[in-house]
Amino acid sequence: MDSKVENQMDKPATAIKVHCKSKDDDMGEHILWNGMHTTFSFKPSVFNKTFFWCDVFWNDRWVVFDVYMSTTEILVPVWRIIVTVCGQ
C-alpha cells in the first residue's frame, strides 16, 4: 500500500510536522512546507489487523487521521491524503 501526505496550507510560510505510524512500523517525523509531500509504503498484515494513522502538527494545532485500517470485515485504504486547512 502506498500513501502520500501533502501540505497544501493556504499560507505558504506554514510548515506542518507529520508523523505516521502503526503498532509495528514508525515512518518517522517529516517537516513539510507548502507544496512539499512525503510518501510511505507498507504491507498489510495477513491477519487483517493493520492500522496506520498520522499525527499532523502546525502552529499550536494537532490533528490525527486514519490512513489505513483493515479488519476481517472492512478494508478501507486511503491512497492519497492531502492535508488542507483553509484560513489557518
pTM for the whole thing? 0.75
For 10-54, write each residue's pLDDT tens digit.
777 789 999 999 988 999 999 999 888 888 888 877 776 788 889
Into how many domains does the chain fold?
1
Domain that holds residue 46: 2-86
- CA neighbours within 13 Å on the CB side: how many for 76? 10
pLDDT of amino acid 82: 55
For 42-85, write each residue's pLDDT tens digit.
887 777 678 888 999 988 889 888 888 776 444 444 444 455 54
Confidence of residue 8 (pLDDT cuts 50, 70, 90): confident
